Chain A
Amino acid sequence: MAEVLRMQDIVKIYSNGFMANKDVNLVVNEGEIHALVGENGAGKTTLMKILFGMEDFQGGRVLLDGADANISSPLDAIAKGIGMVHQHFMQVPSLTVAENVTLGIEPGRGMAFDKKEAIAITQEISDKYQLKVNANEKIADLGVGLRQKVEILKALVRKCRILILDEPTAVLTPQETQELFVQLKALKKGGIAIIFISHKLEEVMELCDRVTVLRAGRTVGTDVIENLNPAKISRMMVGRDVILEIEKELAKPTDLVLEIDALQYKNAENVMMVDGVSFGIRRGEIVGIAGVEGNGQNQVAELISGMLQISSGDIRICGKSVRGKNVREIRKMGMAYISEDRMVYGCAANLPIRENIMADRIHSKEYRKFGFLIDTKKINQDIDKLIEDFEVSCDDRTQPVRMLSGGNIQKVIVAREFSSGAHLILANQPTRGIDVGTTEMIRKTLVKKSREEGVAVLLVSSDLNEVLEVSDRLLVMKDGKIVAHFKDASTVSEELLGEYMLGVKTMTPEEMGELV
């Protein structure tokens, strides 16, 4: 088989000095499905952004068909036969499939758009690869699985030879996943090279021909699938045999801290994102919410924190309702919040570590001096202590946060949220995309907080290992509803959890029992 793509000794350094790719090598052949696997933050997405012309790079070469390809922009990448299906679809919901697919390459004469021709082109490619998409339907009326196919169609109509799929199954049901695999295999027969990014190893074993593993920005190796098994790949990914295990004593839950009652939330497009959720968390216990991303877990956390406004139902912290209160008032009630998107809601990148940690407590009386000034000496002492306790690797407290690595930025954020004296901690994807050492520290601290200080913890995470290891009780959300409740998370297997997350199984209210 002919080699279509060679990425050779790629070096990518971000402008904060962080080296995301170090001499990475990737070779993809015509008509193969090539898996690119690695932990969060291993540099997969960065490498693909380089290939698709979204990021420039500082070293190495990208060769297409053996010749240097200077890919300057996504437009240029498309022209050179590279297609990318992003995790977030790039579509106009109010237009039809055919209109979306031909957007930018509209058939027709002059200013006139030839709708029939657009439909014909779309339908032809769709039929050729058995994608089973109706060109006449509106995007807004399609489900996630079909919308993803429209993305693939867009790439195919633009005559792509290399198709990049960035975690395509994260949003799909098992049936949709199977259907996608059949179609990807058909594409492969048609001679298209597919780069499949995933960390679901069973899928990789089932679908792919070769695997390239990245770890901490470097290539660990490439091998054909026959020589590999999930355990082997997993070892290559993390560089050690076991997944993280957290030791913890049995929880001794006492008084209710958080009570959620028939909570509903409709977003701006009037879609019911959270639909009748009720549960409670007691002092000293950790409750996890698992689920495929986008099933309302994030909204539950944001409603509790006051970032979103409740549509109906109620949330009470220590008996007091949070309705109509803003984030400041809710924080005063004893809530701390590690938000999902750390660069947007978790920190101010251009400000020093000190300002970032002080953000939620600068008005506190303990830092007041002469009535209107702040006690800089005390602030500096406290910040230095937190930097030391949480092992933030930095120059000093005045270093802007943007110069730190992802893991260290998250350490600054948890240093703030874990030291605010809260009795309810919301941890929303607390370890997403960060290194193993920091991940372990954050998980251990969550357990310590609940066991030693009696804090109630809500853990929202799409990392199954994390919710299973850290939670005492575990809830599963699907389509804005709670579909399962496990009284003891340690007895649940990833497979079983997966079945509830994907809606293969659903518990009846009787099976779930009391959710407090």
Chain B
Amino acid sequence: MKETRKIEFGFEIFRIVVALAIAYGIALLCIMLISEDPFQAVYMFAVGPFTSVRRFGQLFGKFIPYLLTGAGMCFVYASNRFNLIGEGVYLMSGCLVTYAAVNMGDMGLPHLVFVLLLILVGALTGAVFGSVPAVLREKMGINETVVSIMMNYALLYLATYLVKTKMYDNSITYMASKQIPEDAKLTALISKTQLHGGIFIGLIAVGITALIFYRTALGYDIRICGANPKFAKASGINMTATLILAQVMGAVLAGIGGAVDILGIYDRYMWTALTNMGFDGLIVAVLSKKNPIFVPLGAFLLAYMRTGASILNYTSDIPIEFVDIMQAIIILLIAAEHFMGRYKEKLIFKASRKKNEGVA
């Protein structure tokens, strides 16, 4: 069977490459059709993120939170739950972290302590709100997808309410909180870019996630529960505790993601719509095949695409929404196990035939 395994592995990589190629092909075709200056547009889309330090930094501005929400969604996705609370938690965490930062600004805490304390606020926000759909699902069997999506909107409006009533800055004309004190912000690694110190937090989180997945009993439990819950029960795994923990961990990482993002690149809290960062975390988890080790790759790829799209948006006549189409195609092709499945089977059949020929 060694052959089968080689074929499957090689095929997996091949499939992702083909998915990307098809998506980019369709994107290029769209650009050709709708743009006045297609060559410039294509150039901006594909190479744009690497054309200046500022743009490259912009890519990292997305990459950093994707590391966290992506690692978080690995927990959720690997346990085979579709709990999307990460989206609401991300935003709520941003809101509460800002509130804490504004109110603790004159306490004179050392920079590092202040920042870590704020990140802890984000993590706690994740734990508190993330446990709601997880507990409802595992203790009472209520569908986690429905609860989490409903809660996302509840959290969005709760955050908006908090900004209006507790955090509003009278000196400005748009809806935003008071300014986050400089002391609370994550230091930019390259000044005037969005590449900030949060990258270390993101990479550490990915490392810890991988460690939990493959080097702790909990990681084994989570993967077994996700792969076959009936087997998990029969081999005596505590499923309720494992699955609640997995979903809460996912929300904690999303909460840290929200905190890092707001402290890294914002001056004030000003999210009045869902940020999509939580949902994007799921995309990262899908791209990395729920393996935390591949999260940086998945996060980079998605960040690159998103940045390319936004550069395209302000340098040409292509709307930003069109990158969503590309993304949808890529996700669809990668998530669809049977995409090119016939081709894979043919390879396996051929190998099996060859092997069986000798054994008449």
Given contacts A327-B235, A344-B231, contact A403 B5 (CB under 8 A): yes
Whether A363 is near chain B, meaning CB under 8 Å from some CB there, is: yes
Contacts of B348 in A (CB 8 A): 13, 15-17
Closest-CB distance, B226 to chain A (whole angstroms): 9
Nearest chain A CB to B257 CB, angstrom units: 24
Cβ-based interface call for B139 (8 A): no
Contact A327 B233, beta carbon cutoff 8 Å: yes
Contacts of B221 in A (CB 8 A): 362
With contact pairs A19-B356, A351-B223, A374-B216 given, residues A359 and B345 touching in the complex (Cβ less than 8 Å): no
Q: Is the CB of B231 within 8 A of A346?
A: yes
Partner of A337, one of B215, B232, B234, B238: B234
| CA distance in complex: A65, B349 (Å) | 29
Interface residues on B, range: 20 to 34
Question: Chain B contact residues: over half helix, strand or loop, or mixed?
Answer: helix
Instruction: Check A372 against B216 for contact (C-beta < 8 Å).
Output: yes
The answer to whether B1 and A395 touch across the interface, beta carbons within 8 angstroms, is: yes
Nearest CB in chain B: distance from A19 CB, A: 5
Chain A residues lying within 8 Å of B2, measured Cβ to Cβ, are 395
A403 touches B236 (CB 8 A): no
- Which of A58, A307, A374 is in CB contact (< 8 Å) with B234? A307
Complex contacts, B4 vs chain A, CB 8 Å = 16-17, 403
**Whole-angstrom distance between the Cβ of B77 and the nearest chain A Cβ:** 13
Asked if B217 is at the interface of the complex by the 8 Å CB criterion, the answer is yes
Scan B1-14; emit 1 where CB is below 8 A from any A CB, else 0: 11111000000000
In the assembly, what is the distance between CA of A344 and CA of B223, in Å? 16
Chain B residues near A362 (CB, 8 Å)? Answer: 217, 220-221
Interface string of B203-220 (1 = CB under 8 A from A): 000000001000111001
Task: Looking at the assembled complex, report how far the CB atom of A415 sits from the nearest CB atom of chain B, in whole angstroms.
Answer: 13
Q: How many angstroms between the C-alpha atoms of A275 and B215 in the bound complex? A: 46
CA distance A376 to B220 in the complex (A): 12
Q: How far is the CA of A399 from the CA of B227 in the complex (A)?
A: 15
Are the CB atoms of B223 and A17 closer together than 8 Å? no
B274 within 8 A of A: no
Q: How far is the CA of A305 from the CA of B231 in the complex (A)?
A: 13
CB pair A363–B217 under 8 Å, yes or no, is yes
A344-B1 contact given A22-B356, A327-B236, CB 8 Å threshold: no
Q: Could you tell me the distance in whole angstroms from the C-beta of B342 to the nearest C-beta in chain A?
A: 10
> B38 to chain A: closest CB distance in Å?
42
What's the least CB distance linking A344 to chain B, in Å?
Answer: 5
Q: Which residues of A contact B120 (CB under 8 A)?
A: none
Q: Are A359 and B224 in contact (CB under 8 A)?
A: yes
Interface residues of A in 93-117 (CB under 8 A from B): none
B220 touches A58 (CB 8 A): no
Contact flag A374-B215 (CB < 8 Å), given A15-B345, A58-B349, A395-B1: yes
CB distance from A502 to the nearest CB of B (A): 31
In the assembled complex, the Cα of A332 lies from the Cα of B2 at a distance in Å of 36
Contact A350 B231 (CB under 8 A): no
Q: How far is the CB of B330 from chain A (nearest CB, A)?
A: 23
Residues on the B chain within 8 Å of A330, using CB: 236
> Once the chains are docked, how many angstroms separate the CA of A348 from the CA of B227?
6
User: Is A444's beta carbon under 8 Å from chain B?
Assistant: no
Q: Is B237 an interface residue (CB 8 A)?
A: yes
B230 within 8 A of A: yes
Task: Give the total of A residues in contact with B, Cβ under 8 Å.
Answer: 47
Contacts of B230 in A (CB 8 A): 344-345
Q: How far is the CA of A143 from the CA of B217 in the complex (A)?
A: 49
Q: In the assembled complex, which residues on chain A have CB atoms less than 8 Å from the CB atom of B224?
A: 348, 351, 355, 359
A1 is an interface residue with CB less than 8 A from chain B: no
| Interface check A373, CB cutoff 8 A | yes
Q: Is B351 positioned at the interface, with any CB of A under 8 Å from its CB?
A: yes
Question: Given the complex, which residues of B lie within 8 Å of A305, measured CB to CB?
Answer: 234
B345 contacts across to A, CB distance below 8 A? 15
| Contact A328 B237, beta carbon cutoff 8 Å | yes
Answer yes or no: A404 CB below 8 A from chain B CBs: yes
- Enumerate chain A residues within 8 angstroms of B352, measured Cβ to Cβ: 13, 17-19
* A335 nearest in chain B by CB position: B236
Is B192 on the interface with A (CB-CB < 8 A)? no
Contact B5 A346 (CB under 8 A): no
B235 and A399 contacting across the interface, CB-CB below 8 Å: no
Question: Would you call A348 and B228 a contact (CB within 8 A)?
Answer: yes
- CB A163 to nearest CB in B, in angstroms, measures 31
Interface positions of A from 413 to 430, Cβ below 8 Å from B: 416
A348 to chain B, nearest CB (A): 4
Check: A515 CB closer than 8 A to any chain B CB.
no
Interface residues of A (CB under 8 A from B): 11, 13, 15-19, 22, 58, 305, 307, 326-332, 337, 339, 344-351, 355, 358-360, 362-363, 367, 372-374, 376, 394-395, 399-400, 403-405, 416
Known: A327-B235, A345-B234, A355-B224. 18 other contacts (CB 8 A): A17-B351, A22-B356, A329-B236, A339-B234, A345-B230, A345-B233, A346-B234, A349-B228, A351-B227, A351-B228, A355-B223, A358-B220, A362-B217, A372-B216, A374-B220, A394-B1, A405-B1, A416-B235
What are 13 inter-chain pairs, A to B, with CB distance below 8 A?
A17-B3, A17-B349, A22-B356, A307-B234, A329-B236, A331-B236, A347-B231, A349-B227, A351-B228, A372-B216, A394-B1, A399-B5, A405-B1
What are the nearest 9 A-B pairs in CB distance?
Answer: A328-B236, A348-B227, A17-B4, A359-B235, A348-B228, A345-B234, A331-B236, A360-B235, A362-B217
